[in-house]
Amino acid sequence: MALSKINILMVVPLISWVAAVPAAYDVVWADWMTGAMPSNTAACAAPFATLVTSSTSLSYSPVAAAVTYQTLALSSDSLSLAPSATASSAFSTSASTVQSVASVAAAISVQPQNGSTTGSCEGASDSCVGDVTHWDGGVGACGWAVDTNSDYEIALPYAFMGSQSNGNPYCGRSVTLHNPTSGTTVQATVGDKCEGCTDRSIDCTDILFNAITDGEGDGRMHGIQWWLN
């Protein structure tokens, strides 16, 4: 018989293919009859194949990859499905969007919203707030000369800094000052102790005072935030 010329190994995949086609289209047809989109996209992604015949042989070629079908189209005598965007394409778009949002978020500088008059002033999350005044500089409690015209330095309140002068752990600490009204932020260093400063008010060198007040201070400015870095 003619069938004996066909390799039996090629017939088995053909049988599997024939069994898969009705199962896949039964799912799609059932959904179409109720007016719904295909509910079982896994079934729609069944391994449909290409069947090639010649005078002496029969071959079976499976598709390279399963495709998820989502769009249902009906004509006068046929039913067809259009594939959706591939998962890898959708993932690339999502990853790109997430990366863009992350980049924007990283570029935003968040400033402290409030300040304490009794806090530790350690870091922006525990920032302090008070008046800023200015002094003439000179050799102070930290043991070095402070130039009021060129050094961006502050003198901490006596009650905050403590009685120790030379070798005080606050001496040389980096400090951030922030003017919430103008948005100006300036970096400075602890270089002295202020005997007359109360709560969390601080004394500044002339150059620092002019910088943090944007040149508008009249010897004193209220509500300046600051914290130890």
The answer on 220 and 133 residing in a single domain is yes
Say whether both 128 and 224 belong to one domain. Answer: yes
pTM: 0.52
pLDDT tens column, 133-158: 999 999 999 999 999 999 999 999 99
Which residues constitute the domain of residue 79? 2-85
Q: Would residue 100 count as lying in a domain?
A: no
Q: Which residues does 22 contact at the CB level (< 8 Å), separation at least 6?
A: none
Higher pLDDT, 77 or 190: 190
Contacts of 53 (CB under 8 A, 6+ apart): 59
In this structure, what CATH number is given to the domain that contains residue 155?
Answer: 2.40.40.10
What are the start-end ranges of the E strands in 30-75? Answer: 49-53, 58-62, 69-74
What are 68-109's pLDDT values in tens digits?
A: 445 445 454 555 555 555 444 444 444 444 454 444 444 344
pLDDT of residue 108: 40
SS3 192: strand
pLDDT above 50 (res 202): yes
pLDDT at 175 over 90: yes
145 - beta bridge partners? 139
Q: Are residues 217 and 138 in the same domain?
A: yes
Q: What is the pLDDT of residue 115?
A: 76
Tell me what percent of the chain is helix, strand and coil, each rounded to the nearest 5.
30, 30, 40
Residue 25 counted as domain residue: yes
With CA atoms as reference, report the closest residue to 9 among 46, 56, 47, 59: 59
Mean pLDDT across the chain: 72
Q: Is 102 contained in some domain?
A: no
- What is the per-residue pLDDT for 217? 82
